[in-house]
Amino acid sequence: MKIAMLGVKGLPAIGGVAHYVEQLGARLVERGHEVTVYCRPHYTDETAPYRGMQRIVTRGIRGKHLDAATHAFTATVDALTRGFDLLHIHCPGPAYVAPMLRLLRSSRIVVTIHGPDWDQKKWCGPASMCIRAGAWAAVRFAHKVAAVSDSVARAFEREFGRRPTTIPTGVELMEPVEPCEMARLGLSADDYVFTAARLTPAKGVHHLVDAWERLDSDKQLVIAGDSPFEDDYTRSLLSRASDRIRFVGYVTGRMLAELYSNAYLYVQPSEIEGLSVSVLEALSYGRCVLASDIEPNVEALNGCGFTFASRDVDDLTRRLGELLSDPETVAAQTRIARDYIRTERTWERTVDGYVTLYEDAMAGRTAFAAEQVLTTG
């Protein structure tokens, strides 16, 4: 099958959606499919194959509110000329191009909803309206719609009246690595609490910083991540760096593996999620996780780790204090977390779900479980 992926920043992966596409696409290639990923030039300037996937770079208008939408348009114009069997759009915003892609009457369209993007604070009113328009286009014009978790599927159904197929997100079971590169940050095993997130309000890092400033601990708080577009929120957050609160920027590879592997505790303070890949990655390294109790985080944890009341700094402070003073409880999570990832969260199960979904789309079966939403062309 000849498959195109749209709605992605670039490869190698930059951000959660791109990581998802990289893992999915590489495994589809291993199963004999031809996969092309459309990338944005300011994230990827290479066009050579990557992990067996073809990369095509098309341009858009760079900016917080125009980048994804304009790139989706130029990618669609290119895709219309290449004879793909199936076009897989990631996220509701870029799905506004689905009516254009329907011009390829021999091709099928699949949309994956990674989270309730229409509710995120970072979007202005017009941008939120465009994301909603993309979601409605997915309902009307896609042959299949999937969600990365049951909680996202339910949120989509509440908002748009249709229930996508849930395909649970996979994660690789990682072997913890010894500290080496992180020594240049002045860090050693178990002397820090870690979080990795984009520096946007929806990720709730400001709640974690608020709580940490209230605690008396000899450990450091280490925050990995950045924001693609600097704004007042990002500048305000970075201004709170201190000898106890470290912002280390966007990290990948060995450094990221070390930071996960050697953290005393991983914290996910997000207000909105689809399904947190960083929570799953922390569990895969055997870390104890403390996460906000929003529905997607509870689903990702699946009984592992601990939660605090979302947006409640008092409760977050209390839970952090309890775990900082109880290393035995924290250490006991290692086996529990890794057993869960090993048995329930493999990428092979995720790819199996998509192969079935693609086959159903090619066969013209219904887009949603409850009813036929459109007649396939």
Q: Which residues pair with 194 in a beta bridge?
A: 222, 266
Q: Is the peptide bond before 12 cis (omega within 30 degrees of 0)?
A: yes
* CA-wise closest residue to 271 among 306, 303, 231, 312: 312
pLDDT of residue 170: 94
Averaged pLDDT, 39-57? 91
Tens-place pLDDT, residues 243-272: 999 999 999 899 999 999 999 999 999 998
CA distance 325 to 332: 14
Burial of 200 (0-12, 13-18, 19+ CB in 10 A): buried
Averaged pLDDT, 4-20? 89
**Domains of the chain with CATH codes:** 2-170+346-362 (3.40.50.2000), 181-344 (3.40.50.2000)
Residue 23 dihedral angles phi and psi, to the nearest 5°: -70, -45
CA distance 119 to 272: 8
Tens-place pLDDT, residues 166-186: 999 999 999 999 999 999 999
> pLDDT confidence of 42, banded at 50, 70, 90?
confident
Assess contact for 2 and 83: CB atoms under 8 A: yes
Number of H helices, E strands in the chain: 13, 13
Q: What is the pTM of this model?
A: 0.83
Q: Outline where the chain has alpha helix (H).
A: 16-30, 67-79, 98-101, 125-141, 150-160, 205-214, 232-238, 253-262, 277-284, 295-301, 313-324, 327-344, 347-362
Assess contact for 80 and 103: CB atoms under 8 A: yes
Q: What is the mean pLDDT of the chain?
A: 91
Tens-place pLDDT, residues 314-329: 999 999 999 999 999 9
Percent of the chain residues past pLDDT 90, beyond the cut: 77
> pLDDT confidence of 377, banded at 50, 70, 90?
very low
Tens-place pLDDT, residues 111-131: 999 988 776 655 555 667 788
